[in-house]
Amino acid sequence: MPYLVEEGGGANLGALNSNGSQEYLNGSGGNYEKSDSPMPPPVSHHLLDLGSQAHLIELFPMAAYAVRAADGVIVWFNSRAAKLWGREPVLGDTNERFCGAHTLYHADGTYVAHCDTPVALALTTGVSVHDEDAVIARPDGSRVTVSVHIDPIRDRDGAIVGVVNFFHDITERKQNERTTGLLAAIVDSSEDAVISKNLDGTITSWNKGAQRIFGYSAQETIGHNITMLIPPDRLDEEVTIIGRLKRGEHIDHFETIRLRKDGAQLHISLTISPVRDAHGRIIGASKIARDITERKQAEQALAERALLLDLSNDAILVRDGDDRVSYWNEGAAELYGFSREEAIGRVSNELLQTEFPESMERITEQFLREGRWSGELIHTRKDGSQIVVVSRWALDKDHSGNRKRVLETNNDITQQKRLESGLRASEERLRVLANNLENQVLVRTHQLEQRNAEVVQQSEQLRELSRRLQQTQDDERRRIARELHDSAGQVLAALGMNLASIAQRARRNPKLGKATQEGLELVHQLSKEIRTMSYLLHPPLLDENGLPGVIQWYVQGLAERGNLKCELMIPEDFGRLSDDMEVAIFRIVQECLTNIHRHSGSKTATIRLSREGEIVSLEIQDEGKGIPSEKLTEIQAHRTGVGITGMRERVRHLNGTIDIQSDANGTKISVSLPASLPSKGKNLESRTASG
């Protein structure tokens, strides 16, 4: 409603009627009366100046202030406005524009600059603002919510000369609305049915829980009588309930039966409270209905199963939320001696004087967290004797997850515990015996370890002796070969020369010449045999030309003497090895070919000698009948064969490996040795021999 403000000898306030005609308040000294005739023309610079009539603004039933159109400066305000602002603005101050509040916010909490307030917008647009909420922040930090009613003030020509704002505190109303809304949301979100009715039974509210439980929507129930939910044979319950409500009584957990929309019967628990008006008069009732159909069905099923539980040999009991016994089977009565009548309603732990393995608080915490618990308990029977039981607990919860009841099953293990105690005593005796035996075993083990160390030491000494023996044998063979070659060879040569001289002189005597010639041939044959024996003991080619040459010489001699053909595969650039390694390889070849010639029945043999990096490989293979399996097992177990043992010792002394494989198609011996560089003397000797 736009206001017309004029002045002439006093304050003259006017307003437009709803039919468009102007209504004026003419008066002075605080006396106003309605008039249908306009007042004299106003003086423009006094349009918002109340003058001596300024006290009239205190008569307004709400906070009010006005601003002028030119710059939005506040020209007047009443004490109600200052109280809501929490401060008194300076009239006419250009810094106090549009609003006297310290800080202003929209209802949603967003900040509002003074130049954007509804008053500033009304000055600009000329549009009134009614019933808009705003939040005033006072200098002391408190806040108040107000509802504003803003109208522009126009002169007789319709020009906006100012704006007046009437506003009042609605903080409490808003708080009540929020509280009411929160309560309504809580009620509407409740799983229980929350229903209100007046004293004649007419339903006045119906939440979603009621719709879920009973099947009716709010539109189908509000305005109808509550008896639509009550079975005909229980209508007298409603009369009793109304009578108790009128007396101001509360009804707690009243269990009864009600009807769903589909006609099905529900077991429900009712809690009913009277509703009073502002004067304390009872005007209706608030009803909370909880569906306990499942609980009732479970109780019935439990009662039916209880008949079966009585057949169990275990003690079975059910405890309610206060740990009081609500079920006690025949097994419990037989085990503890208490009858069902003596046990029902008693706290189980007190009845049985339970001794727990740990604190009850920890057991309860674990039980509620996991829903199950088991452990050993000590119970006292009615006759005072104590028994040990294995107790198993299972937690039953309601729809909200709260503890409803506990199923406890107890099995008597007293005899078992006695047996276990005896067994533990036996185990302790056995442990002592075992410790003694262990000590004896440790002593004997130490003795055996010492003996084993001695055996190992002796074995190492034997191996060292074997190595030295082989070395001595090789040295002795070299010496004997040299002696045979040098001494015996020279004697035989001289003998041959003498016999040759005799043969020339004995030409005149045929018999003597023949005998001399036969003796000369024998000397030549003996010289050849001694040279061969000398070479076999220690071939000089081994020192002069190395392995390839001596093996080639040996293979040729063996072919001539024993009719064994050997295929020899040695690279031309094989090179030289250390003295010990060349002697060992030659002796292994010598031993293998001798065994092939004597035992295998093979007419051929293959010798492969190679060198890859720092590894020397030797393979000797025949095509004979092979080694019998029993004999091969003994050889692989290092239990037989002097020649094989000698080869193993030579290989072991050189940190190598030897492998023997044999079947009906022949035998293969594989040797792998780490190569070592020849000495400088051997290289020089080799070059001298070859050059």
**How much is the pLDDT for 279?**
86
**How much is the pLDDT for 488?**
63
Question: To which residue do tokens 């929160």 refer?
Answer: 182
Distance in angstroms (rounded) separating the CA atoms of residues 653 and 650: 5
Q: Domain spanning 318-412: which superfamily?
A: PAS domain (3.30.450.20)
Q: From 3.40.50.20, 3.60.15.10, 3.40.50.720, 3.30.565.10, which CATH number describes the 541-690 domain?
A: 3.30.565.10
Distance in angstroms (rounded) separating the CA atoms of residues 629 and 643: 18
pLDDT at residue 486 is higher than 90: no
What distances in angstroms separate CA 562 from CA 538, 553, 559, 604, one per listed residue? Answer: 20, 14, 5, 11
**How much is the pLDDT for 559?**
80
Edge-to-edge strand list for the sheet holding 251-259: 203-206, 193-198, 282-291, 265-276, 251-259
Question: To which residue do tokens 């339970």 refer?
Answer: 354
Distance in angstroms (rounded) separating the CA atoms of residues 191 and 503: 143
Question: To which residue do tokens 């205190």 refer?
Answer: 58
**How much is the pLDDT for 297?**
83
Q: Which run of H or E residues covers position 449?
A: helix 414-483
Other CB atoms within a 10 A radius of the CB of residue 500 amount to: 13
φ, ψ for residue 345, nearest 5 deg? 90, -10
The answer to whether the beta carbons of residues 632 and 608 sit under 8 Å apart is no
pLDDT at residue 478 is higher than 80: no
Q: Work out the percent of the chain whose per-residue pLDDT is above 90.
A: 30
pLDDT at residue 25 is higher than 60: no
pLDDT tier for residue 148 given thresholds of 50, 70 and 90: very high
| Mean pLDDT across the chain | 80
pLDDT at residue 27 is higher than 60: no
Span 443-475, pLDDT tens digits: 888 888 888 877 777 766 665 666 566 567 666
Q: What is the CATH topology of the domain spanning 3-175?
A: Beta-Lactamase (3.30.450)
Amino acid at 389: V
Nearest to 522, CA basis, from 542, 500, 545: 500
Span 275-308, pLDDT tens digits: 888 788 998 888 888 888 888 888 787 677 777 7
Q: For the chain, what are the domain ranges?
A: 3-175, 190-291, 318-412, 418-508, 541-690
**How much is the pLDDT for 20?**
35
The DSSP symbol for 383 reads T
Pairing status of strand 251-259 against strand 386-397: unpaired
Q: Do 3-175 and 190-291 agree at the fold level?
A: yes
Q: Which CATH architecture has domain 190-291?
A: 2-Layer Sandwich (3.30)
Q: Extract the tokens encoding 77.
A: 């305000």
**Residue of higher predicted confidence among 467 and 128:** 128
Question: To which residue do tokens 């008066």 refer?
Answer: 27
What distances in angstroms separate CA 307 from CA 124, 310, 407, 411, one per listed residue? Answer: 87, 5, 15, 19
**How much is the pLDDT for 630?**
84
Tell me what the mean pLDDT of segment 398-404 comes to.
85
The answer to whether the beta carbons of residues 29 and 132 sit under 8 Å apart is no
Other CB atoms within a 10 A radius of the CB of residue 669 amount to: 22
Distance in angstroms (rounded) separating the CA atoms of residues 570 and 548: 7
Distance in angstroms (rounded) separating the CA atoms of residues 478 and 472: 10
Span 192-236, pLDDT tens digits: 888 988 989 899 989 888 899 999 998 999 999 999 999 999 999
pLDDT at residue 18 is higher than 50: no
**Residue of higher predicted confidence among 313 and 80:** 80
pLDDT at residue 365 is higher than 80: yes
The pTM of the whole model exceeds 0.75: no
The answer to whether the beta carbons of residues 408 and 317 sit under 8 Å apart is yes
pLDDT at residue 30 is higher than 90: no
Pairing status of strand 143-154 against strand 3-7: parallel
The answer to whether the beta carbons of residues 115 and 97 sit under 8 Å apart is yes
**How much is the pLDDT for 217?**
92
